[in-house]
């Protein structure tokens, strides 16, 4: 009850409140009205756009997705030729986005933790250098950094015919890095399965060690057995499968190289820039997380005889992670969305490919709706995963 | 009550925005006259077609076409506003009414007219797509480009022709697709790509204006497409479409009749009935277009005839030194042909 409402409703209203004076009814009515207004305005805009498109003779709808794309994309994760459809072109772009975003998130997290811990180093040089790094990265535009990386990789490296050739069959030139990869063999799938099984066994070993620690106070040595459990099964499967290792070797062609796997300068520039940029932000998040853990915790840990590394790993970081996870989630989201800046240097991720499609078909609105909702789904998926992780690491209050 | 008031206020704002969005479809000629300037989308910088000079004024064939429209509408070729646009932005700019006309080396195609809602005025430059490679690569023909990395701009017919050509010849290539002209040119000149493809006029322009040493680059003989470059307007405004169309015809017609920037005042005394109609000595032509009868006179006096515009911007008096080729008048074996002024 607001004071104004109470003052305005005299005694009779106590027994039977008129509907327009009832706080609850009024609140609901205003909300319904607001939603109706917003929906109405959206419908009006959509209708207006449709009407204008119709009046100008612009075709609408999503039928264009099934038509032949007639343009090429490179590099791609799945085979794509100009004879494929626009829908597949979008998929190619999406996969490139997911690739650069997932690698970016993994490396930016690793870099961020190193930077965040180094920022708090007692070594003056280390902490100052990381401070300079963080400030430079945070205070310059990302697009500039992408161009800088691209220029370095493109202009710094030699022409393909003069490619650097330190390792056998590995070529570094302004076309990127080309290196051999093994041809696919069914045994590799079994190796993957063996790896998963080994990892599962290692996890069980860890659980057992924890229980034993809790029960007896003994800390069993699990590092070496665990590592063996993870690495040995795939190696055994590989040998048992006849050690299939036929390499797809890069060949020098008239222009550059064929065969092998290549990483283009555009992909590398984008990935480096995203990792270096987001790494600085995550570094600051990690630093703030560590500093949020009270000094008494580390002092107590050291008093118990834990080393500095153990203190960080067993006492400080598990508490800091609760502070770190939520802001890091938004950092992951920006990294994913920032990958669309690749359009400037010609790496064919989702936004770049959809730009081309929007222009070739003239269906700008439809394509932008598809792209916006795709980014939305990716972002929501990342948020969901991080929220689950957050719940898992959150303090269990007793 | 306070809430209701603010809701009411918000509603008024929304309605105001909506009303504005309807305004965009009024007659383009009225909008242009009211504004006092013709707004043209031009290339961000393509030598010979539209590129800012040292004073920041756009120069080139496309820029002059825009000036000719302003001369026709206002009798003053300086009443123009140029909106530099990338290949990808240009269609949206025109569709949303932010510009009145696209004079931005744009290829006339079926889908652009029938599906994107444009009308194309007569062609101002008949072009064709080609390839440029470094001389030291030793490549003599586009057929030798199998496996090459090729720099190309997105959202262009160029990108599609490239794919078509390689498919038809059973060759493969790796595209490097960059939107901004400067960046795609940089990528080619730094050796990131083995070849650069666009319209041959564009190749000549890039080579003349951007190459560290123009003699190091050669344009291959293959012409892999037809690229009729023409001004475009929005579908459904025939009054404005006619003005743009007849502006181009006035430029070509003047060359046919030998009317030039220098002699246009003398030509007012000509006995040729078509010249008289064209220059407004015999009234009626301009009025029919809802313009001044002197519209063609103003175009020629202030901008020039087609031949003059061509030679000044891309032909023998320019850095590009492009041959007139098929852009000669029909009377000289080319394709330039003005419909009759009557």
Q: Does the distance separating the beta carbons of A360 and B159 come in below 8 Å?
A: yes
The verdict on A77 touching B (C-beta cutoff 8 Å) is: no
Closest-CA distance of chain A to residue B55, Å: 27
Q: Which residue has the higher pLDDT, B329 or A165?
A: B329
CA-based nearest distance B160→chain A, Å: 5
Scored b (16 or more CB within 10 A) or e, B10-24 reads eeeebeeeeeeeeee
Q: Is the pLDDT reported for residue A13 higher than 60?
A: no
Question: What is the rounded distance in angstroms from the CA atom of residue B217 to the CA atom of residue B215?
Answer: 5
* Residue A308, pLDDT above cutoff 90: no
Q: Judge whether residue A313 has pLDDT over 90.
A: no
* Higher pLDDT among residues B300 and A309, named by residue: B300
CA-to-CA distance for B244 and B122, rounded, in angstroms? 9
Whether the CB of A197 is below 8 Å from some CB of chain B: the reply is no
- Going by pLDDT thresholds of 50, 70 and 90, the confidence category of residue A165 is confident
Per DSSP, what are the bridge partners of residue B43?
Answer: B85
State the DSSP H helix or E strand holding residue B250, giving kind and residue range, or none if neither: helix B238-256
For residue B248, give both structure tokens: 């181009």
Contact A82 B190 (CB under 8 A): no
Q: Which residues contact A374 (CB under 8 A, 6 or more apart)?
A: A94, A350
Residues of chain B found within 8 Å of residue A63, distances taken between Cβ atoms: none
Contact A56 B95 (CB under 8 A): yes
Residue A392 pLDDT class (50, 70, 90 cuts): confident
The residue of chain B with its CA nearest to that of A266 is B176
Residues in chain A with CB shorter than 8 Å from the CB of B10 are 37
Q: Would you tell me which residues 250-269 of chain A have a C-beta closer than 8 angstroms to some C-beta of chain B?
A: 253-256, 258, 265-266
Over residues A206-218, the pLDDT tens digits come to 889 888 888 888 8
Q: Write down the pLDDT at residue A14.
A: 55
Characterize the bridge pairing of strands B232-234 and B217-219.
unpaired
Q: Report the alpha-carbon distance of residue B146 to residue B170 in Å, rounded.
A: 9
Residue of chain A whose Cα is closest to the Cα of B158: A71
Q: A266–B176: do the CB atoms touch at under 8 Å? A: yes
Please check whether residue B184 is in contact with residue B205, taking contact to mean a CB–CB distance below 8 angstroms.
no
Q: Which of A55, A81, A348 sits opposite B236 (nearest CB)?
A: A55
The alpha carbon of residue A135 is apart from the nearest alpha carbon of chain B, in Å, by: 28
Average pLDDT for A258-277:
92
* Residue A35 at interface with chain B, using a CB cutoff of 8 Å: no
For residue A159, the Cα-to-chain-centroid distance in whole angstroms is: 33
Neighbour count for residue B251 (Cβ, 10 Å): 27
CA distance A37 to B10: 10
Average pLDDT over residues A139-147: 95
Q: Which chain B residues touch A38 with a CB distance below 8 Å?
A: none
pLDDT given at position B13: 44
- B254 Cα to chain A: minimum distance (Å): 33
Q: Nearest chain A Cα to B164, which residue?
A: A70
Does the beta-carbon distance from A355 to B155 stay under 8 Å?
Answer: yes
Distance from CA of A107 to the nearest CA of B (A): 26
Least confident of A145-159, A173-187, B17-31: B17-31
Nearest to B160 among A346, A358, A360 (CB): A360
Average pLDDT, chain A: 88
Q: Does A366 touch chain B (CB under 8 A)?
A: no
Yes or no: say if A97 and A350 are a contact pair by the CB < 8 Å rule: yes
- Say what the pLDDT of residue B26 is: 64
pLDDT of residue B108: 94
CA dist A211 and A310 (Å) reads 19
**CB atoms B174 and A37 under 8 Å:** no
Higher pLDDT, B59 or A251: B59
The whole-angstrom distance between B46's CA and the closest CA on chain A is: 19
DSSP codes joined into one string, A120-153:
T-S-HHHHHHHHHHHHHHHTS-HHHHHHHHHHHH
- Lateral strand order in the sheet of B129-134: B173-177, B148-152, B195-199, B129-134, B217-219
Are A359 and B88 in contact (CB < 8 Å)? yes
Residues of A in contact with B181 (CB under 8 A): none
Residues of B in contact with A52 (CB under 8 A): 21, 24-25
Chain B residues closer than 8 Å to A83 by CB:
167
Which tens digit of pLDDT belongs to each residue from A82-123? 999 999 999 999 999 999 999 999 999 999 999 999 999 889
Verify whether the Cβ–Cβ distance B147 to A44 is below 8 Å.
no
Asked if A153 reaches chain B (Cβ–Cβ under 8 Å), the answer is no
The Cα of A103 is separated from the nearest Cα of chain B by a number of Å equal to 22
Chain-chain contact of B174 with A75 (C-beta, under 8 angstroms): yes
Pick from A346, A327, A208: nearest CA to A270: A346
Chunked in runs of 10, what are the mean pLDDT values of chain B (342 residues)?
A: 46 44 66 96 92 93 97 96 89 92 93 89 95 94 93 85 93 91 92 93 90 92 92 94 97 96 95 95 94 96 96 92 91 95 92
Torsion on CA atoms B185, B191, B192, B194, rounded to nearest 10: 90
B176 contacts in chain A (CB < 8 Å):
74, 266, 346
Of A58, A81, A254, the CB nearest to B95: A58
pLDDT, residue A242, reads 81
pTM here is 0.75
Confirm or reject contact between A4 and chain B (CB < 8 A): no
The predicted-structure confidence for A221-233, as pLDDT tens digits, reads as follows: 888 888 888 889 8
Q: How much is the pLDDT for A15?
A: 63
Nearest CA to CA, how far is A14 from chain B (Å)? Answer: 21
Residue A144, chain B, CB below 8 Å: the answer is no
Give yes or no for a cis peptide into A75 (omega within 30° of 0): yes
Instruction: Band the pLDDT of A243: cuts 50, 70, 90.
Output: confident
pLDDT for res A258:
82
Q: Tell me which residue has tokens 């490239």.
A: B162
Q: Give the A window 289-318 contacts with B, CB below 8 Å.
A: none
Task: Output Rg (C-alpha) for chain B, integer angstroms.
Answer: 22
With contact defined as beta carbons under 8 Å apart, do B340 and B330 qualify?
A: no
Residue in B23, B146, B191 to test binding to A, most A beta-carbons within 10 Å = B191
For residue B116, list chain A residues with Cβ-Cβ distance below 8 A: 58, 362
The confidence score (pLDDT) of residue B3 equals 46
pLDDT digits (tens, 9 = 90+) for A338-391: 999 999 999 999 999 998 898 888 788 899 999 999 999 999 999 999 999 988
Q: Does A57 touch chain B (CB under 8 A)?
A: yes
Q: How far apart are the first and last CA of chain A?
A: 36
CB burial of residue B334 (10 Å; 0-12, 13-18, 19+): middle
Instruction: Give CA–CA dist A98/A90, Å, rounded.
Output: 12
Polymer length of chain A: 398
Residues 201-240 of A with CB under 8 A from B: none
Cα B321 to Cα B314: distance, rounded to the nearest angstrom: 6
Chain B hits for A255, Cβ within 8 Å: 147-149, 194
Q: Which residues of B touch A37 (CB under 8 A)?
A: 7, 10-11
Percent of chain A with pLDDT over 90: 51
**A-B Cβ pairs (cutoff 8 Å, strict):** 129
């Amino acid at each position: 009850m607001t004071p104004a409402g109470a003052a305005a409703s005299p005694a009779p209203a106590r027994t039977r409140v008129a509907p327009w004076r009832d706080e609850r009814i009024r609140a609901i009515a205003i909300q319904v009205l607001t939603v109706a207004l917003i929906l109405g305005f959206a419908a009006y805009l959509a209708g207006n756009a449709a009407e204008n498109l119709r009046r100008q003779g612009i075709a609408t709808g999503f039928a264009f997705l099934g038509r032949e794309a007639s343009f090429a994309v490179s590099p791609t994760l799945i085979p794509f030729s100009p004879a494929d459809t626009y829908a597949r072109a979008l998929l190619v772009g999406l996969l490139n986005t997911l690739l650069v975003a997932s690698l970016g998130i993994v490396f930016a997290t690793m870099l961020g933790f190193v930077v965040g811990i180094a920022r708090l180093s007692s070594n003056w040089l280390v902490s100052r250098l990381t401070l300079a790094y963080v400030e430079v990265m945070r205070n310059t535009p990302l697009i500039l950094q992408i161009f800088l990386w691209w220029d370095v990789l493109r202009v710094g490296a030699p022409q393909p015919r003069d490619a650097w050739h330190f390792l056998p069959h590995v070529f570094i030139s302004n076309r990127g890095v080309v290196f051999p990869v093994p041809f696919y063999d069914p045994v590799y799938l079994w190796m993957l399965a063996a790896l998963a099984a080994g990892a599962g066994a290692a996890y069980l070993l860890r659980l057992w060690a924890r229980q034993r620690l809790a029960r007896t106070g003994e800390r069993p040595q699990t590092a070496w057995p665990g590592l063996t459990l993870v690495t040995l099964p795939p190696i055994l499967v590989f040998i048992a499968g006849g050690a299939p290792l036929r390499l797809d070797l890069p060949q020098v062609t008239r222009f550059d190289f064929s065969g092998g796997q290549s990483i283009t300068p555009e992909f590398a520039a984008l990935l480096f820039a995203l990792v270096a940029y987001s790494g600085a932000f995550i570094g600051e998040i990690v630093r703030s997380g560590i500093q949020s853990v009270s000094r008494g915790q580390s002092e107590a840990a050291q008093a118990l005889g834990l080393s500095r590394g153990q203190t960080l790993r067993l006492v400080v970081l598990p508490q800091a992670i609760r502070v770190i996870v939520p802001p890091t989630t938004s950092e992951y989201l920006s990294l994913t969305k920032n990958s669309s800046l690749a359009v400037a240097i010609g790496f064919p991720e989702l936004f770049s490919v959809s730009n081309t499609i929007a222009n070739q078909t003239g269906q700008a609105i439809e394509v932008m709706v598809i792209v916006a909702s795709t980014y939305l789904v990716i972002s929501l998926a990342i948020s969901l995963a991080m929220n689950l992780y957050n719940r898992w690491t959150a303090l269990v209050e007793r | 009550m306070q809430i209701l008031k603010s809701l009411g206020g918000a509603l008024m704002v929304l309605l105001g925005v909506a009303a504005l969005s309807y305004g965009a479809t009024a007659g383009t000629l009225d909008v242009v006259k009211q504004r006092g300037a013709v707004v043209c989308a031009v290339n961000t910088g393509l030598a010979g077609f539209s590129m800012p000079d040292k004073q920041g004024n756009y120069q080139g064939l496309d820029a002059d076409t825009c000036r000719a429209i302003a001369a026709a509408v206002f009798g003053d070729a300086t009443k123009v506003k140029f909106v530099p646009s990338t290949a990808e932005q240009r269609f949206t700019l025109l569709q949303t009414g932010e510009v009145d006309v696209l004079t931005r080396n744009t290829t006339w195609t079926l889908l652009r007219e029938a599906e994107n809602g444009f009308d194309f005025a007569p062609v101002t430059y008949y072009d064709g797509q080609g390839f440029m490679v470094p001389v030291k690569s030793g490549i003599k023909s586009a057929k030798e480009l199998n496996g090459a990395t090729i720099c190309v701009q997105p959202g262009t017919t160029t990108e599609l022709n490239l794919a078509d050509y390689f498919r038809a010849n059973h060759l493969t290539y790796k595209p490097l697709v960059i939107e901004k002209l400067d960046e795609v040119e940089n990528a080619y000149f730094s050796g990131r790509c083995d070849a650069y493809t666009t319209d041959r006029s564009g190749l000549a322009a890039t080579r003349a204006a951007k190459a560290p040493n123009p003699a190091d680059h050669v344009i291959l003989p293959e012409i892999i497409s037809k690229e009729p470059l023409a001004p475009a307007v929005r579908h459904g405004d025939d009054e404005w479409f006619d003005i743009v169309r007849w502006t181009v015809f006035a430029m070509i017609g003047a060359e046919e009749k030998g009317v030039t920037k220098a002699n246009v005042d003398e030509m007012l005394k000509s006995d040729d009935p078509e010249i008289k109609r064209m220059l407004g000595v015999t009234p009626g032509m301009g009025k029919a277009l809802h313009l001044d009868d002197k519209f063609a006179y103003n175009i020629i006096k202030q901008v020039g005839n087609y031949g003059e515009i061509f030679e000044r911007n891309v032909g023998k008096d320019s850095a590009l030194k492009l041959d007139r080729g098929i852009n000669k008048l029909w009377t000289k074996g080319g394709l330039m042909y003005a419909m009759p002024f009557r």
